[in-house]
């Protein structure tokens, strides 16, 4: 697996990971995580969904890994919706660089997720397969989740 570094993020096999195409500012402050999410807490598109039980930040790589795991499990027969998008740049300084000077370069993108937010939705497959696929996708995420119908 060859990774070539760009100005923002990585290119994996000539395919960009989830990240914004254009931003007003290159870097931003992390801010605070929402404790609960009151807006995106109901199913909108699918019949089955994966709901976050706690707040946290999910990176673009983790979202993509969960999406790929779900798609492999359902053998691309149904439809999958990803309800979160990584829009927060996280910076890091290179190794062995002294403190101070300037903020580091953008290393990856994350999505802030509040408790109760719907992360993924599935439709068009049997209930048993959908629950199995969402369970597999939940294993790739760093927060506690719940499968809802």
Average pLDDT, rounded, for the chain: 90
Q: What is the pLDDT of residues 51-83, one digit of tens each?
A: 999 999 999 999 999 999 999 999 989 999 999
Q: Which are the contacts of 128, defined by CB distance < 8 A and separation ≥ 6?
A: none
Whether residue 58 contacts residue 142, with contact meaning beta carbons closer than 8 Å, is answered with yes
Q: Which residue blocks in the chain are alpha helix, DSSP H?
A: 60-74, 127-138
Token couple for 98:
């002294």
Which class is 33-94+102-148 in CATH?
Answer: alpha beta
Give 56's strand partners: 113
Phi then psi for residue 122, to 5 deg, are -130, 145
Cβ-based burial of 116 (10 A; exposed 0-12, middle 13-18, buried ≥19): buried
> Is the pLDDT score of 50 beyond 50?
yes
Q: How far from chain centre, in Å, is Cα 1? A: 21
Q: At what angle do helices 60-74 and 127-138 cross, to 10 degrees?
A: 150
Give 2's strand partners: none
Q: Which residue blocks in 6-94 are alpha helix, DSSP H?
A: 60-74
Q: What is the mean pLDDT of residues 37-50?
A: 95
Classify the C-alpha dihedral 29-30-31-37 as positive or negative. positive
- Residue 114's pLDDT is what? 96
């Amino acid at each position: 697996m060859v990774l070539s570094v760009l100005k923002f993020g990585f290119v994996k096999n000539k395919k960009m990971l989830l990240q914004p195409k254009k931003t007003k500012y290159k870097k931003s402050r992390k801010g605070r995580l929402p404790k609960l999410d009151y807006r995106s807490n109901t199913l909108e598109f699918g019949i089955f969904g994966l709901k976050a039980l706690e707040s946290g930040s999910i990176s673009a790589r983790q979202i993509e890994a969960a999406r790929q795991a779900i798609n492999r499990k359902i053998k691309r027969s149904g439809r999958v919706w990803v309800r979160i998008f990584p829009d927060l740049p996280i910076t890091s300084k290179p190794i062995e660089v002294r403190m101070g000077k300037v903020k580091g370069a953008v290393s990856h993108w994350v999505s802030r997720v509040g408790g109760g937010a719907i992360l993924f939705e599935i439709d068009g497959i049997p209930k048993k397969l959908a629950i199995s696929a969402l369970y597999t996708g939940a294993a790739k995420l760093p927060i506690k989740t719940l499968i809802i119908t």
